[in-house]
Each structure stands twice: as structure tokens, then as C-alpha cells.
Amino acid sequence: MRKMTEQLIFLDGQLVKKEDAKISVYDHGLLYGDGIFEGIRVYNGNVFRLKEHLIRLYESAKSILLTIPYTIEEITEIVLKTIRANELQSAYIRLVVTRGVGDLGIDPFACKNASVIVIAEPLNLFPPELYETGIKIVSASSRRNRSDVISPKTKSLNYLNNVLVKIEANLAGVPEALMMNTDGYVAEGSADNIFIVKGNELITPPGYIGALEGITRNAVLEVACKKGYDAKEGVFTRHDVYVADEVFLTGTAAEVIAVIEVDGRQIGTGIPGTITNKILAGFREIVETDGTKVYE
């Protein structure tokens, strides 16, 4: 791995030094949160589910009528090239597409060229010891964006909804908080999906509740089914979370992390559960081998 001071960032066709990776104050990504992103991980030189991430990126783009100035094959190569340029084996990749430079009006048609940014660097969302002990969380009073207002399926740069939830977590002194939708059903964390375990069943909220259909979540559903658990989508409330045997969160940045307390209610025995640990082990197995090779 290169020194962080030599980090290279892909910005509109070029690899530039971190200190030179700058965009205009007229970029609508900054002025209006008008843009989309993906968070991707590379493990041991394998980019995990790159194709799925890029399909979601192009779907987000289509939904907001944003033209990405590259084909999916070209973006694949750009992501791999950025990882190679930074000599990384395991890292987090942030792929951002902004509407680009426009004027002070909202009108996106003033923006002629979308900007494409790829940042690759090591990242632990939570301190490593929390993956052993599990985390305490609270439920947030901020509600998930309604699907009929801004679709939670669009991974947009408009993340105030999620930022407000993270602020609630910070104020409560915990690393993450849980978001309900406007009907009070559990949706997800600030940027991660939730699973509850009851007996042999693993349940995660469906997309229409307001959960982003996470790639980690989908991989965990597969891992759980392979291990013989009854893993499925289902609608549930905070009560079901409180009385679950086990609770865990999933996301590209968060990976798989156990939750041991919610709103002061201890979950199960107060330590990461057996099923959570098995899922985590199964997930670690697939990410090490299953992916797009960066180095041949």
C-alpha cells in the first residue's frame, strides 16, 4: 500500500493526488446533493459484487435522469485502475457521480457534464473491537424518506435523512441508530440494513418499507439460506427488535456487526449471538474469494 500522502484519486478521466482532487463550488452535487454514489469493498484483491454495485449505480442514474459519461465496462476498468494505482489489496471504494458544474439555479440541464470520482482507501466504519463485542443502538425519531417522495432505492448524494439519524446516534452516545418509516415499521440504520433473528428465522425489511436493498444484505440472505436458516424479508416493528434472539446490521462500510442493546433493551444474552457469528464467518469466507480480480 502507498503512503496516504501519495494517495491517488480518479477525477474526471485522470488519477490525481489527493490534495489536487477538487471540484467546482458550482457542482450541483454540492449545491443540491444532485448526484449518486456507491460504496464498494475490495477484499484480498477481489472486488466484492462489483457488477451488482454498478448495476445499482446505473439504476440510480437512470432514475434521476443522470447520464454517466462511461459504459459499465469502462467504469469497471476505472474502479480497478484506481485500486491498482493505490496498490491496495483490501479497501473501501467510494464511487461518486455528480450532476456536474452548472449555475446557481436548480435546473440540472445547465450541467453539461457529470463528474465521476473514485476514491479507494482503507476504512473501518466502526472500531475493530466493536466487531467482537457488538454495539448498542437507539431508535431515531427521524423517519425514513418515504418511497413516494425520494425513493430510498436511489443511492443519492441527498443523505440529510441519514445524517440526521447519525446525529441522533451521536447525541445518544452510540455508534448507530435505527430508522422507522412513517408507518412506524423498522426500515434500516443510517446506512446499513438490519436483520433480526428469532429461532431459526432471519428477517430483514423489504425494500418497499424504505430499506435500501443492500448488496451485503442480499449476500447475507444467501449465506443464511446456504447454512440452512429460514432467511427472508418481512415487516416488523421495534417490539420485534427488542424481543429478537439476535440483531445485526449489514452494509458495505459496516460489513456485519452484532447489535447487543436497542433503546436500553438487552438483545438475547447481551453478546453477539451464535447465528450472527456464523453469518459473519460465512460472509468473510465469500468476500475473500468471490469477486472481480484486481491483479491478474
Ligand X SMILES: *Cc1c(COP(=O)(O)O)cnc(C)c1O
The half-sphere exposure of 231 on its side-chain side, counting CA atoms within 13 A, is: 18
Cβ nearer to ligand X, comparing 102 with 251: 251
Calculate the CA 76 to chain-centre distance: 18
d(CA 278, CA 227): 9
Site string for ligand X, 175-194 (x = CB under 6 A): -------------x--xxx-
Angle at the Cα of 267 (from 264 to 271), degrees rounded to 5?
110
Cell of 234: 418481512
d(CA 239, CA 101): 47
Cβ nearer to ligand X, comparing 7 with 250: 250
Cβ nearer to ligand X, comparing 46 with 252: 252
Q: Is 60 in the site for ligand X (CB under 6 A)?
A: no
Number of H helices and number of E strands within the chain?
Answer: 8, 16
Is the separation of the CB atoms in 137 and 262 below 8 Å?
yes
Angle at the Cα of 35 (from 41 to 188), degrees rounded to 5?
55
Site string for ligand X, 246-275 (x = CB under 6 A): ----xxx-----------------------
Stretch that binds ligand X, among 92-100, 119-127, 244-252, 274-282 (CB under 6 A): 244-252
Which residues ranging from 4 to 43 are in contact with ligand X (CB under 6 A)?
A: 39
Question: Using alpha carbons only, how large is the chain's radius of gyration in Å?
Answer: 19
Give the CA distances from residue 226 to residues 2, 115, 231, 257, 275, in Å, rounded to whole numbers and listed in that order: 38, 40, 10, 20, 13
Q: Is 168 in the site for ligand X (CB under 6 A)?
A: no
Of all residues in the shown chain, the one whose CB is closest to ligand X is 214
Stretch that binds ligand X, among 5-13, 105-113, 245-253, 277-285 (CB under 6 A): 245-253
**Is 166 considered catalytic here?**
no
Cell of 222: 444467501
Binding residues with ligand X: total (CB under 6 A):
15
Q: Which residue in the list 62, 155, 166, 278 is annotated as catalytic?
A: 155
Stretch that binds ligand X, among 6-14, 71-79, 90-98, 210-218 (CB under 6 A): 210-218
Cβ nearer to ligand X, comparing 82 with 161: 161
Please give the positions annotated as active site: 155
Q: List contacts with ligand X (CB under 6 A).
A: 39, 155, 162, 188, 191-193, 212, 214-217, 250-252
